[in-house]
Structure 1
């Protein structure tokens, strides 16, 4: 078996280090403790984050969509495949090097998806982007951590708190959709979504693109009261 090759490192918020590895045509991004955050072979659940959200939007002709976290681009590319030509796909990424890796080290993964005129990359905190908006987005897709527990960045906890969900609700249009990815189910978060004015459903989806592999959780939460 081919050995893993370290291609690049980046400083993550709060002092951790992200490491990009390659083995043949497979890529892996890990924390310095070895915990794998994403793998180029396993993007099925991240893709479902986008496709399930667009299904819930119900065919809006020019949706404005905020994607929290570029990662390996699974959610972005899935959104591109189903979004109409007039859509705006805004990707908020807090680690600038990830956007650079997409164009260099992982160019074979991203191909030309960042050249899509519908796509805009904004470097910064997606939480700040949400708090600054009011009725600006038809959908907000969040894949910035391993779930509503701030594994990679404790500051991400605020996205999933009652205050964070209230900010997300304000940032959405009427009937807008908040979609959240998680490596595991979380009943407490489901309850917070309901209390926060969302009609939410937790979907269990496979990590891979087949019926094999671990299951992840994707919440699709529609802004209630529309």
Structure 2
């Protein structure tokens, strides 16, 4: 039976250490589904671009700052960072091998091939929280797009990232004056308060306009110098 335009078609399905992850095509869109829950698709990318731009803007005139992007996703954040020559090294932490493969030689390569091939880009296959605990590297900016944000996580354990302990780990790998930018599917005043309690300064939230419903946001905070 031939699929219609409105029928999602599964392109790949993997069972990994964190559960099932699926890449499917729905019309012209590619979608990532984790454990049966929709995570993201290739429909827009405004919020991912804002994530990266907000970090760079907050850094001011810092020369060739390096950035860690938490979550490869459909590649919008990486592609946008790699398109800007002002960034220095670009490290992407992604724990799902399937998602990395879809970018290296699968359907998502159309989104990100140029960015993946950029000599500044390094993709690290590991859990972000583990990387924050273990790495000896420090970063000028952390751009985190993990799960659906602080208030509703799909994957067990991801909420640890948004806790006081998780934010302390973020601060540990940030250089003085470094910027933490966190994507969220909805505004979170409680998360803003957690950021302040963790010692971050200049905490603010930027909304991404949407046609209807609650806007996506990015939370922005600065580690004291």
Q: Same fold (TM over 0.5)?
A: yes
Aligned length: 218
Q: Relative contact order (C-alpha < 8 Å, sep 6+): which is higher?
A: 1
| TM-score after normalising by structure 1 | 0.89
Runs (4 or more) in structure 1 with deviation over 3 Å come to 211-214
Q: Which runs of 5+ in 2 are unaligned?
A: none
Kindly state the Cα deviation for residue 83 of structure 1 after the two structures are TM-superposed.
4.4
Q: 1:163 to 1:115 in 2, by over 3 A?
A: same
Kindly state the Cα deviation for residue 213 of structure 1 after the two structures are TM-superposed.
5.4
1:11–1:18 contact (8 Å) kept in structure 2? yes
Pairwise CA RMSD: 1.8
Match of 2:218 in 1: 218
Moved more, 93-102 or 17-26: 17-26
CA-to-aligned-CA distance 1:118-167 (integer Å, 9 cap, x gap): 00000001111112246711111111110114622221111111111111
1:149-188 correspondence to structure 2 within 5 Å: 149=151, 151-188=153-190
Kindly state the Cα deviation for residue 193 of structure 1 after the two structures are TM-superposed.
0.3
Q: Which runs of 5+ in 1 are unaligned?
A: none
SS at match of 1:197: coil
| TM-score after normalising by structure 2 | 0.90
Match of 2:102 in 1: 101
1:64-79 correspondence to structure 2 within 5 Å: 64-79=66-81
The whole-number CA distance in structure 1 between the counterparts of 2:28 and 2:114 is: 17
1:53–1:139 contact (8 Å) kept in structure 2? yes
SS at match of 2:83: helix
